[in-house]
Amino acid sequence: MIADRPQNPPLAALLIFTASAFFAGTTLLAKALGTGALGPALHPMQISHGRFLFAFLVILCAVGVIRPRLRRPHWGLHIGRTSFGWLGITLMFASVAYIPISDATAISFLNPVFAMVLAIPLLKEGVGPWRWLAAAVSLTGALILLRPTPESFQPAALLALTAAAVIGMELIFIKKLSGREIPIQILLVNNAMGLTIATVAASFVFQMPTPAQWAALAGIGVLMACAQACFVNGMARADASFVAPISYATLIFAAFFDLAVFDVIPDTISVIGSAIILTGALILVWREARVRRG
């Protein structure tokens, strides 16, 4: 087991806030690559490949510098976690090419809700009325963002919704891995296996990126690696109930980036749907905090 890091809530808040900016930055670059803003549009599987390739290189360099003591990985859990993680991020990158980044980001906040539901059969966890209320509220917000009318329905939003469900499944594997292995080993194995899967998938759709696209692909990988490092270290320095709400700053950064780069202004439906999803997520965070204190 690994010794806990000293608790430092202000530093934890700063790390999670920084991770939120990095996470939003990856979706911004993915949108630029998927919409043809930097050259011929790249397939989401190729964008996902770039994310794993450059993130793996960054983490490999970190391992070389830190030289942590690595243990034998639990291959079954890593395969499950990486497979769902690769599929989830690929679907997420596909969705931002068609819908506002803020909408896709808001829908991604359903990850813990789906994880909560999946934990019932897979982890044998009990779910009380408050958790079901949080799930119902968040799913209502997602339904609003889908704009389920013939005139305004956004099929691409289903990609983001599916991504949230798939990543919710990934969270189940992450929970099973937590405590078994050190974070940097989990990141190293995850990105190495993800790179293998992504390379095979991208080989069917590969096209030579432009120099600007190579830079954006590298940016996605570096930002993702930095975001993961900030998030893991932030979570280690404060209670989850304290840092979790700060991660919702990702939505603010996503909306700002979309406005600054693509001139996309969130409409009323986007604001209402996002607010409802955040309300459900905050109910879940509040309830988890109450459970821990009890």
What are the tens digits of pLDDT across the range 12-27?
889 989 999 999 999 9
pLDDT category of residue 2 using cuts at 50, 70 and 90: very low
Least confident of 146-155, 170-179, 192-201, 217-226: 146-155
pLDDT higher than 60, residue 184: yes
Least confident of 78-82, 115-119, 251-255, 275-279: 115-119
Report in angstroms the alpha-carbon separations of 31 from 41, 75, 211, 258.
9, 33, 17, 9
| Residue carrying structure tokens 């890091």 | 5
DSSP characters for 276-287? HHHHHHHHHHHH
pLDDT category of residue 5 using cuts at 50, 70 and 90: low
pLDDT higher than 80, residue 291: no
pLDDT digits (tens, 9 = 90+) for 55-104: 999 999 999 999 999 989 999 999 999 999 999 999 999 999 999 999 99
- Comparing C-alpha atoms, which of 81, 42, 40, 78 is closest to residue 201? 42
Report in angstroms the alpha-carbon separations of 201 from 41, 59, 154, 221, 273.
17, 22, 26, 17, 33
pLDDT digits (tens, 9 = 90+) for 212-231: 999 999 999 999 999 988 88
Amino acid present at 240 = A
